[in-house]
C-alpha cells in the first residue's frame, strides 16, 4: 500500500517507517527537516512539508491509501498545546481534497479528563498533571475526529508509556477506551515503540477500529 507518514523522524515514526518498508509498502515521509531521516530505501520518499497547510499536504496525499501520524508536540507547564488539533485539521482537509479516507493517529492513554483516576499515584499526581497540556490537546483532536470527520475512516491508537525499543513478539491487548483495564494483566504500563508502530500498521487495511479510539498495550 501507499502510506503517508507524519512524525517519521520521531522515535515511534522511525520504527513505523522501517517496518512499513520491510512489509513492502511504499512510504512518503512528510517531515520538516529531510536531513533528519537517515533511513534509505527505494520505496521511501522523504518530502519537506508544512503539517499545518492543507493545500501543501493534499499534493502529497494524491494516490495514497492511508495516512499515519506519529506526530508529537512538547508539553507546556504554563500554556496550551495546539499542534495536535492544528495538524489534524490540515491533514483531514488535505485528505478530503485528495480523496484519501484512512487515517491512523496515535495519542495516549488517559487523554480524557478523569480517565486517570485508577492509575498509580505516581502517574495520577505527578505525570498526568505535568503533561496535561498535551493530553488535553490530544483529546481535543480525538473529539474533532469524532464530531467532524464522520466521512473519514480514522482510528485513534492510544498507547501507555513508550519505551524506545523495537517490536517484540508479545500479544496485543486492546480496549475501547482511554486505558486498558489492568485487573487481569499486571504489567501493561509501558509498551515498546516498535510494538505501537506494528499495531498501527496492522490497522491500515482493517475495519475493526474504524471511527473509534483504541487503547492498547502488550502482555
Ligand X SMILES: NC(=O)c1ccc[n+]([C@@H]2O[C@H](COP(=O)([O-])OP(=O)(O)OC[C@H]3O[C@@H](n4cnc5c(N)ncnc54)[C@H](OP(=O)(O)O)[C@@H]3O)[C@@H](O)[C@H]2O)c1
HEC profile of 168-179: CCCCEEEECCCC
Quick check: 81 binds ligand X (CB under 6 A)?
no
Please say which residue, 32 or 150, places its beta carbon nearer to ligand X. Answer: 32
Q: What angle is formed at CA 70 by the lines to CA 214 and CA 48, rounded to 5 degrees? A: 150
Q: Tell me: does residue 175 bind ligand X (CB under 6 A).
A: no
Can you tell me the distance from the alpha carbon of 162 to that of 189, in angstroms, rounded to the nearest whole number? Answer: 9
Phi, psi of 179 (to 5 degrees): -170, 165
* Short-list 59, 65, 66, CA closest to 97: 59
- Closest among 39, 45, 43 to 9, alpha carbons compared: 39
And the C-alpha cell for 111?
A: 487523554
# chain residues binding ligand X, by CB under 6 A = 22
- Can residue 10 be called a binding residue for ligand X (CB under 6 A)? yes
Give yes or no for residue 12 binding ligand X (CB under 6 A).
yes
Name the closest residue to ligand X (Cβ). Answer: 10
Q: Which one, 12 or 18, has the nearer CB to ligand X?
A: 12
Q: Nearer to ligand X by C-beta: 66 or 123?
A: 123
In the region spanning residues 94 to 133, those forming contacts with ligand X, defined by CB under 6 A, are 106, 108
Closer to ligand X by CB, 99 or 209: give it: 209
Task: Report the nearest approach of ligand X to the CB of residue 71 (Å).
Answer: 4
Q: Does 7 bind ligand X (CB under 6 A)?
A: yes
Candidate ranges 4-12, 55-63, 93-101, 174-182; the one touching ligand X (CB under 6 A): 4-12
Q: Are 118 and 178 in contact (CB under 8 A)?
A: no
Other Cβ atoms within 10 Å of 74 Cβ, number: 9
Locate the DSSP E strands across 38-149.
Answer: 44-48, 66-69, 102-106
Site pattern 31..50 for ligand X (x: CB under 6 A): -xx--x--------------
- Residues near ligand X, by CB under 6 A: 7, 9-13, 32-33, 36, 51, 70-73, 83, 106, 108, 134, 159, 161-162, 193
Amino acid at each position: 500500500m501507499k502510506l503517508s507518514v507524519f512524525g517519521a523522524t520521531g522515535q515511534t515514526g522511525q520504527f513505523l517507517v522501517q517496518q512499513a518498508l520491510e512489509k513492502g509498502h511504499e512510504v512518503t515521509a512528510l517531515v520538516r527537516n529531510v536531513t533528519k531521516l537517515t533511513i534509505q530505501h527505494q520505496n521511501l520518499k522523504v518530502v519537506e512539508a508544512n503539517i499545518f497547510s492543507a493545500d501543501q499536504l493534499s499534493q502529497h496525499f494524491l494516490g495514497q491509501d492511508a495516512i499515519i501520524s506519529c506526530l508529537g508536540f512538547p508539553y507546556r507547564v504554563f500554556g496550551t498545546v495546539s499542534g495536535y488539533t492544528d495538524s489534524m485539521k490540515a491533514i483531514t482537509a488535505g485528505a478530503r481534497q485528495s480523496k484519501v479516507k484512512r487515517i491512523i493517529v496515535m495519542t495516549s492513554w488517559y487523554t480524557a479528563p478523569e480517565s486517570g483516576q485508577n492509575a498509580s499515584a505516581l502517574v495520577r499526581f505527578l505525570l498526568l498533571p505535568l503533561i496535561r497540556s498535551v493530553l488535553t490537546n490530544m483529546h481535543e483532536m480525538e473529539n474533532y475526529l469524532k464530531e467532524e470527520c464522520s466521512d473519514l475512516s480514522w482510528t485513534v491508537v492510544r498507547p501507555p508509556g513508550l519505551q524506545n525499543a523495537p517490536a517484540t513478539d508479545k500479544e496485543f491487548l486492546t480496549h475501547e477506551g482511554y486505558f486498558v483495564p489492568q485487573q487481569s494483566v499486571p504489567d501493561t504500563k509501558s509498551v515498546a515503540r516498535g510494538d505501537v508502530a506494528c499495531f498501527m500498521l496492522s490497522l491500515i487495511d482493517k475495519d475493526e477500529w474504524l471511527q473509534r479510539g483504541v487503547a492498547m498495550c502488550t502482555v
